[in-house]
Amino acid sequence: MGYWKDIVLGGWSLIEGMKVTGRALFKPVVTVQYPRKRLEMSPAYRGHIEFKIFPETGTHGCIACGTCQRVCPSNVIKVQGVKAHARSGKIATHYVIDFTRCSLCGLCVESCPTQTLKFSTEFELAGDSRWDGVVDLVLRMEESRS
């Protein structure tokens, strides 16, 4: 009697499948018409890293200590800083990250002593050359402010 059972059960499974797709037909769509409509990015989204801007100082808090540079397993961070005068701390002048080789492990964000690093919500990262993935965060911050 396996023959009839196969037909009935198989037929029923087809109807079950059609129920699933039939319900999906009336669900609200989840896609948006992208270039014109954008979704709010989740705060958990991990784009490339970015400077946090602290409201007290109005700028980032990077002291160019190089912890992130040392902790980075992919070796993609290069930080340069200067001392304004002999007894002050360093301030970053260049913070270059090669995002094309970043593995998004987040060690830099975790290890930052001044907590000035965060993940950006940048997702439109298409570029024409591999140098388009190399970002200077200091420059980027200044550009975004102006």
Partner 1 sequence: MEATATSGAFWLRLIVGLVIVLAFSQLNALFLVWLERKVAGHIQVRLGPMEVGPHGLLQTIVDGIKLVGKELITPSRADRKLYALAPVLVFMPVLVAFLVLPFGPNLIIRDMNVGLLLIFAFSTFSVLAILVGGWASNNKYALLGAIRSVAQAVAYEIPLLLSVMSVVLMVNSFRFSELVMAQQRIWFVFLQPVAAIIYFICATAETNRAPFDIPEAESELVAGFHTEYSGMRFGLFFLAEYTNMFIVCAVATSLFLGGWHGPFGFSFKIPGVVWFLAKTYVLLFVLMWFRWTFPRVRFDQLMNFSWKVLIPLSMLNLVITALVLKIV
- To the question of whether residue 72 is assigned a binding role by annotation, the answer is yes
**String of DSSP letters for 21-70:** HHHHHTSPP----TTT--PPPPTT---SEEE--BTTTTB-------HHHH
Binding of residue 39 to partner 1 (CB under 8 A):
no
- To the question of whether residue 112 is assigned a binding role by annotation, the answer is yes
Instruction: Please tell me the count of residues contacting partner 1 according to CB under 8 A.
Output: 16
Q: DSSP character for 88?
A: S
Contacting residue, 7, 8, 41, 125, with partner 1 by CB under 8 A: 7
Distances (CA, A) of 92 to 72, 85, 112, 127: 17, 14, 13, 26
Binding site feature residues for [4Fe-4S] cluster = 62, 65, 68, 72, 102, 105, 108, 112
- Judged by the rule CB under 8 A, the positions of this chain that interact with partner 1 are 7, 14, 17-18, 20-22, 24-31, 33
Q: Show binding-site residues.
A: 62, 65, 68, 72, 102, 105, 108, 112
